[in-house]
Structure 1
Amino acid sequence: MNGGRRLLAAPVGCLLAATPGLLIGRVQPILPLLAIGPLMASTFLSARRTFLVCCWTVLIALAAGLGAGTQLSAGFAVRWGGLLLGCACSVYAAWQRGRLRERLTQVREVARITQEAILRPVSRTLSGTHVSTRYHCAHRESSVGGDLYDLAVTPYGLRVLVGDARGHGLDALRTAADTVTGFRELVSTAPDLTSLAKALDARLSPGLGPEDFVTAVLAEFGPGEVRLVNCGHPAPLRSGQRLELLEPLVPALPLGLHPDPHQYRVRLQPGDRLLLYTNGLTEARAPDDTPFALLTECATALDEPIPDAALHTLYDRLLAHTGGALTDDLALVLCQPTEVVAPVRV
């Protein structure tokens, strides 16, 4: 229903309610019943338009009262008092609804700005590695969920973080924000990824509940290789001459559970790509509960020559598999070394 039809619906309802009083002079109009129109209007019209509906309602009530030969009495005062009170409440309700809508608009804008601050969209070459990102929040009320990523050029090379805070809602968002903040503060000073993971764990643990944690994978790109630390997170995927999951030799617990992480190295050939992702990719299900074929689908999507196009294709194939909107958050980070760059040691 468009705005014009909505504006007409309530006055028409009032007119129908007053019709007996207008047509049959002996029938007393039920004045409080006419307040239904303004009350209806307050649910979908602005305060100004609701006020116009109230004015129309009062005019109809006067016409109906004159037609019925209404006499001044206590009952007359009660009926008119009920009508005017209903009109006043309707205008106030419409005004409050307008204020609430403005606040929700401001909250959404804050959420959008927060997303750009916490999860900066990236599509650029940094320290000899091209990085492209894609993020999806499964909750309509928010732009940011518990999945997270960040990256920084450090004296030790380009470092990338991808993680997933346990839970949903504000608690997961708060944990994700704390993780990204801790990464930004520690990433340039930790001498290696193992030290960085332990420092992040020490920073996050005091603020987490007994069942809260953050799965995370850290990557550091060097000449012809990538160094990895995996704390309970889905294994990165390397594509190139062959497609394979880079599982850690020694599994480690997630951040917040005091892990004992171990760093491992993987050689990168020219043209190789490294996909870091969250379990929104691996745990996606089709309507018939068929799991997403990670290796097969990634082999097709990552064959796209342009990194951004590869992520776009992978996301589209994921949507096609699930048959609609995703039910879990998703973070994708695709890294492709473009040249050999020696890290600067300090």
Structure 2
Amino acid sequence: MAVRAVGRWWRKTSTRSRRSRGRPVLALGVSGLLAVLSGLGSWRLGVAVLVIGPLLACARMDARRTAAVAALALSLALGAGAASGSMVTPGFGIEFLVLLVGGTMAVRDAARHTADAAALARATDVARASQNAILRPMSVELGGIEVCARHRCAVQGASVCGDLYDVVHTPYGVRLLIGDVRGHDLDALRVTAATIGAFKDLAYFTPGLADLATALDARLAPELEAEDFVTAVLAEFAPGEVRIVNCGHPAPVRVGKEVTLLEPREPAPPLGLHPKPQLYRFYLTSGDRLLFYTDGLSEARDANGADFPLIERVGDALAVLSSSEALDTLYAMVATHTGRAPTDDIALALCQPTSMVAPSSAARPSNPAACRKP
């Protein structure tokens, strides 16, 4: 317990800069100083106090270096005992035994936390590779729709991010999913994979987009804990229009002659919270571009707490640039607005029809209120 307590204290009070390079010197210096004091007749604690050196070493050094510090502490203890003439006393033998046991425990603890760190690093590498396989940057053209998508994970050292996207070409048109899973840990990776897998399975066989959202919610239910959820936007492209179902996610932006948010009249809760989604249809005209994003973009705040000016900046970024350049510009704009690297994950998907065909009469809604042109 003493080994772990000292180790926790040492890890909390140390940093990764100059202190990390000075730890071996500090541990050896402490051991040497205590050895000198132990050789003085006025020093009452004896050589057992030299165990502090190995304890300091084990908190941040590997087993080999900790063993070296422990061996030095034992040698110094023998020297201090010889200098004070106490080596033949029972008290010295007990203290030397305490030092020997403490040094052994320190070496064992160093070996354990080194192995744990290596295992964590391997798990992190696997998680990152898994997410990169799931969320590959894309720049494709499917069914007359150009799609450029990418994500950036803002948490330094995080193994996974919570954002997701995917696009498929189905018998019902090109369908896109963008969403945000609650959390950043391995559970988020599991839910991300489950969401994208369910979307790929169901998008080809579910005619209605609202029905697709309901089916996704049902498929994800066994994968989610009580407080888990996935915000999501589903989009389906048809001649002259885009159909959107929004489940608790930021509204897409349409950039054309005007810059407008394609918002639902009635918000629906995220997937996992049993939404009753509604389908909304928006006309598209030649040259329109649609930006789908996660809240890391819209909720990026500057030093005064002001949100990123989404409508103004998106319109500027998407005005004349290529899709790839537009997304790079948006990321740069967020960093400029916040004055630092973004503190939340950001996923972006930019869609643009490569050819525009007027919607057929079959595509026009029977209820005019269901089709909106903000």
TM over 0.5: yes
Partner of 1:344: none
Q: Aligned match of 2:131 in 112, 115, 119?
A: 115
- Using the size of structure 2 for normalisation, the TM-score is 0.80
- Asked if the contact 2:245/2:277 (under 8 Å) is kept, the reply is no
- Per-residue CA deviation, residues 75-106 of structure 1 (Å, 9 max, x unaligned), is 12211011111111110111011011112102
Compared CA separation, residues 288 and 224, structure 1 to 2 (3 A): same
* Structure 1 residue 188, shift from structure 2 partner: 1.5
Greater Cα shift, 214-223 or 307-316: 214-223
User: RMSD of the alignment, in Å?
Assistant: 2.9
Q: CA separation in 2, counterparts of 1:101 and 1:167?
A: 22
The equivalent residue for 2:275 is 258
**Pair 171,71 (structure 1): closer, same or farther in 2 beyond 3 Å:** closer
Asked if 1:77 is matched to 2:93, the reply is: yes
Once residues 12 and 39 of structure 1 are traced to their aligned partners in structure 2, the CA distance between those partners, rounded to angstroms, is 13
Deviations 1:105-128 (CA, angstroms, capped at 9, x unpaired) = 022112202312432222333344
Q: How does 1:1-346 map to 2 (within 5 A)?
A: 1=18, 5-21=22-38, 30-140=46-156, 142-166=158-182, 174-205=190-221, 208=224, 212-248=228-264, 251-256=267-272, 257-270=274-287, 272-303=288-319, 305-339=321-355
- Quick one: which amino acid aligns to residue 215 of structure 1? T
> Once the 2 structures are TM-superposed, how far is the Cα of residue 213 of structure 1 from its aligned partner?
3.9
Task: Between 287-296 and 149-158, report the one with greater CA deviation.
Answer: 149-158
Amino acid at match of 2:314: C
SS of the equivalent of 1:241 reads: coil
After TM superposition, the structure 1 stretch with the greater mean CA deviation from structure 2, 199-208 or 24-33, is 24-33
SS in structure 2 at match of 1:284:
coil
For residue 70 of structure 1, give the secondary structure of its aligned residue in structure 2: coil
Unaligned runs of 5+ in 2: 1-17, 358-374
Contact 2:78 2:87 in 1 (8 A): no
SS of equivalent to 2:60: coil
Q: Tell me which amino acid in the other structure corresponds to 2:264.
A: P
**Corresponding residue pairs, total:** 340
Shift of 1:329: 3.1
| CA gap 1:26/1:198 in 2 versus in 1, 3 angstroms | closer
Structure 2 distance, partners of 1:113, 1:309, is: 25
**TM-score w.r.t. length of structure 1:** 0.86
> What is the distance in 1 between the residues matched to 2:41 and 2:187?
64
Which residue identity is paired with 2:36? T
CA 101–264 in structure 1, closer or farther in 2 if over 3 Å, else same = same
Quote the sequence identity (%).
Answer: 45
Is this contact kept in 1: 2:131–2:189, CA < 8 A? no
Residue 275 of structure 1 deviates from its aligned partner by 0.4
Please list the CA deviations of residues 212-266 of structure 1 after superposition, one character each: whole Å capped at 9, or x if unmatched. 5433211223445433222332221122333222223565443342314224142
Bigger relative contact order, structure 1 or 2 (CA pairs below 8 A, ≥6 apart): 1
Instruction: Tell me if the contact between 1:20 and 1:29 (Cα under 8 Å) persists in the aligned partners.
Output: no
Q: Provide, for residues 146-175 of structure 1, a one-character-per-residue CA deviation record: whole Å limited to 9, x for no partner.
A: 332111222333211012345675665554
Rounded Cα–Cα distance in structure 2 between residues aligned with 1:179 and 1:160: 13
Inter-partner Cα distance in structure 2 for 1:289 and 1:3: 36
The runs of 5 or more residues in structure 1 that have no matched partner are: 342-346
For the 8 Å contact 1:128–1:338, the answer to whether it is kept is yes
Closer, same or farther: CA 71–295 of 1 in aligned 2, 3 Å: closer
